[in-house]
Every structure is written in structure tokens, then in C-alpha cells.
Structure 1
Amino acid sequence: MNKQKLKIIAMIPARYEASRFPGKLMQDLKGKTVITRTYEAAIHTKLFDEVYVVTDSDIIFNEITAQGGKAIMSKKEHQCGSDRIAEAVENLDVDIVVNVQGDEPFIAKEDLERVLNVFYQEDAQNIDLASLMVKITDEEEVNNPNVVKVITNQNDYALYFSRSRIPYPREENMNVPYYRHIGIYAFRKQAILDFYQLPMQVLEASEKIECLRYLEYGKNIKMVETNNRGVGIDTPEDIIKARKLWNT
């Protein structure tokens, strides 16, 4: 299949305040801040034409630009990272926008490549955005409402995301696989602009899962399976683990 070159950028939405761990992106990770480590990791994948941090924080903006990095200040208040990214890319010439979480300094290049490759497959014209999922093997994780689960159809398009156990095992001997959603996204530019302009509906409001807005408005989300569970920094305990992992 002939690959038409797509212009691909990475956007790292970065808020200073975080409910569980305020200021986590400015925590030290072996001599550099978490947000700087994440920014550098995205650049080192060499998968992107440009990498930007988009933020509402002068502290984070100055942290990135002082080291020669590219940062964009949000003009408006935003409820989620997708809205923040949509405002930033509205006037940029780009085909695919990848949302890289600011608290994920351990970016797996192979996972990003898998997500981006779907836009070169035979069904690429049907894909509005792509994301990752990993099989859950821990029963406690299946029932944990902080873990977002996803179910797909036969072609790996998302059917639904939920904090509940999906699917429900009416018969215990079915051996149904469960998948955790991992929050790395690759959007077509128009898909994320549509998201920004469309109001939140009841499913998203109920579950507090922004992917559901895409499904509620008929967008197609291609899911890609990975074995990498990722290392996010959500709590003070996570930064301690990250420091131990950095040079191992």
C-alpha cells in the first residue's frame, strides 16, 4: 500500500494543578522535571514533525521555553486535555495530532508507532482517532472504577468505554477478556476540532470519560492492543517509583 506522508505532531497538555498530586509535572526526575523528561522523550522518538507543550501555567511554559522547547499558552479555561489541544491546533497545518500525557515520561516508541500505523492501513479513511488498550489479568483491576475498560467489535473499533466491569460475565465459564484503556490518542485534526465544538452528552457526563463524546457523536475509534502498561505519575508514590526506574 502506498503511504502518503502525513504531517504528525505531538501535543502534551500540561496543567500545573492536579487533584491527586498538585505540581507533579514540576517534580524532579533525576535532575530534570517530569514535564521536561516527557517533552524530551517525545522528541527522541523521532516520530513527530513537531512537539509542543500546551499549558495554562506560566511555570510550565517558562520551564519548557527556557530550555529551547516549544510551548503554547492556552487562551481559555478548559475542562480536559482534548479541549486544550483543540484550541492549540486550530490554526496549525497538520494531519494527525497525538496527545501525549504530560505525566508519562516513559514513552514507549513502539506503542506510538502502532497507533500511528493505523492511519496507513486499508480502513484508514474510516478512522477518526486511535488509542491503546492492554489486557487486564488482575480481577481487582477489572472491578476498579478508576480503571477505564473498553470493549471493541471484530475490527477493533471501540464499542464502549466504562468504569464498570464490561462486559458483565452472566456465565462465569465464558473466559471473556478484559481490556484497560491507555490514554494515548492519535486524532485526525478534524476529529479533535469537532470534539471541541460539540457539547458534552449524558454518557460522558455520567462516566467522566471523554472518549465517550466521540462515540456519542458517531466517531470511529480504532483500538490497538499493547503489552506495555505504561508508567504514569499520579501520586507522590509514583514519582518515587519513577526515580528508581529511570536508570534501570
Structure 2
Amino acid sequence: MTAALVLIPARLAASRLPRKPLADICGKPMIVRVLEQALNADIGPVAVACDDKDIAEAVRDNGGTAVMTRPDHASGSDRIHEAAELLDPERKHEFILNVQGDVPLIAPEAIRAAFAPLSNPEVAIGTIATELDPAFRDDPTFVKAIITPNGQGHHRALYFTRATAPSGDGPLHHHIGIYAYRRTALADFVRLPPSPLEMREKLEQLRALEAGMRIDVSMIDSAPMDVNTPEDLARARAAYQSL
């Protein structure tokens, strides 16, 4: 496969952690920490797609690339689609990889794992999951991926849900919202209206499945820590201090 254009959507507004992308983690803003991990994945150029000049300045001050996007996007997918058109109008990159802006400890290997399923030309979107800690089986904030082996070293996604599923013996799988898109699939996706199951479960990826897009999943060893609250931020700082 050719390289991917890696994009990190970031918006300044956050109810639980104000100005979250700019939160300091051991001397650097969180968005810069994510940018560094994405660069370490070494699968292509990396840029932050943001809605505020303060984020753009923080990224550029640390040697990164930032592109300003509209402030009214409904989702990160819409934001990275605009950014891809701005950064790569000639469409040199066939693949677009969306890395969340609140995972400062995301492993480069996890980013590469999301890209891997696109080696199969039938796959429209690649993503990642890990085995779910049984303590969180019934927690709706942990999204479960209902998957089956695809015979090529990854899994095909059949459904995503906040419910405890599937039933029966065996592990559940925690979906991690990092996506690698074929460029054409991303363009198709953002043109689609929100779908019934997407609105019911409040899971954007169900829009793609309902439209018939194939999503395949790579398994990784553990979920990256995401930062949504001051308590999460304290844990991320402690983790960086221990590196």
C-alpha cells in the first residue's frame, strides 16, 4: 500500500475538560503528544485538523503541521474530510487515517494496525479493537465490536454496540475509534445522512455498516488511555513522567 495521510481532528470546546487539546502534559500540549505518536507510526505525513488558531499555533510552535477547518463540523470524520481536501487537493493519497486527538499515549503500532486491513481491496475502512476487561462488560461507555475472523489475519466487523454482546462464552472486544479510510470511502461516508442505528446507538461507524461499507478490525494488545476529564489528564501526566 502507498502511504496514508494521517489527520488528527481537534476542536477547542470540551465540556468536561476545557481547552482539552492544549492541556499540558509534561511540557507539551496534549495535541502535540498525539502528533508525535502519529509521526512515530511512520506511515505518511501527519497534520492536525483544528477549529481554533490557538491549537494551530501550538502545533506549529512545536514543528508540526496544522490546517484550519470550519468550526461547525458535526464529527471528526467531517473535519478530516475537509482537511484532506485542503492539504491534498490533487488526491495523491489514496488512504486517510483518523487518529483521535485525546490519546496522547497511543502506541505507533496501534496506529499502524488500523491501517493494515486496507491491504485487502474489499475493505473500505480499517479500525482496531482489544479484548475487553470483564469488569467493563456491562458499561455502555465501552463500545463492543462484534467481529468474526476474515481469514487474512484480521476480523470483519458485523456490528458495533454499547450493549453487552455477543452473548455466550468467550471474550468481548472493545472498539477503539481510530479509523483508516480509503479516500473514496471517506467521501462517500460524509455525504451520507445519519442512519437509524447510528442515531439509536450514538455510534457513527454504524452509518458505514448500514450503507454496506466493509469495516475490518485489527486486534491490539491493550486500549490506549484517552483523556476526557481532569482525572484522566492527571493519569496521563503520571504515565509520561514514568517513561
Q: Given the superposition, is the C-alpha separation of residues 151 and 40 from structure 1 closer, same or farther in structure 2, using an over 3 Å criterion?
A: same
* SS of corresponding position for 1:68: coil
Partner of 1:143: 138
Partner of 1:192: 186
Partner of 1:222: 216
Shift of 1:247: 3.2
Counterparts of 1:20 and 1:191 in 2: how far apart (Å)? Answer: 32
Shift of 1:107: 2.1
Partner of 2:18: 22
* SS of corresponding position for 2:178: strand
Partner of 2:113: 114
2:121 corresponds to 1:125:
yes
Amino acid at match of 2:123: I
Counterparts of 1:110 and 1:68 in 2: how far apart (Å)? Answer: 23
Partner of 1:178: 172
Shift of 1:96: 1.2
Shift of 1:222: 0.3
Partner of 1:213: 207
* SS of corresponding position for 2:194: coil
Instruction: From 12, 22, 38, give the equivalent of 2:8.
Output: 12
Counterparts of 1:43 and 1:201 in 2: how far apart (Å)? Answer: 34
Counterparts of 1:116 and 1:221 in 2: how far apart (Å)? Answer: 11
Amino acid at match of 2:129: M
Structure 1 gaps, min length 5: none
Misfit runs of 4+, over 4 Å: none
Does the 8 Å contact 2:117/2:126 carry over to 1? yes
Shift of 1:83: 0.8
Q: Which protein is bigger by CA-based radius of gyration? A: 1
Shift of 1:157: 0.9
TM-score by length of 2: 0.91
Partner of 1:153: 148
Partner of 2:46: 51
TM-score by length of 1: 0.89
* SS of corresponding position for 2:174: strand
* SS of corresponding position for 2:241: coil
* SS of corresponding position for 1:126: coil
* SS of corresponding position for 1:233: coil
Partner of 2:76: 81
Q: Root-mean-square deviation (CA), in Å? A: 1.5
Shift of 1:213: 0.6
* SS of corresponding position for 1:246: helix
The C-alpha deviation readout for 1:110-130, integer Å capped at 9, x for no partner, is: 22222323233xxx1110011
Counterparts of 1:166 and 1:117 in 2: how far apart (Å)? Answer: 25
The alignment covers a number of residue pairs equal to 234
Structure 2 gaps, min length 5: none
The C-alpha deviation readout for 1:191-231, integer Å capped at 9, x for no partner, is: 11111111111111111111001001000000111112111
Counterparts of 2:71 and 2:234 in 1: how far apart (Å)? Answer: 33
Shift of 1:20: 2.1
Counterparts of 1:32 and 1:66 in 2: how far apart (Å)? Answer: 10
Which deviates the most, 109-118 or 221-230?
A: 109-118
Q: Given the superposition, is the C-alpha separation of residues 68 and 110 from structure 1 closer, same or farther in structure 2, using an over 3 Å criterion?
A: closer
Counterparts of 1:10 and 1:226 in 2: how far apart (Å)? Answer: 19
Counterparts of 1:45 and 1:215 in 2: how far apart (Å)? Answer: 27
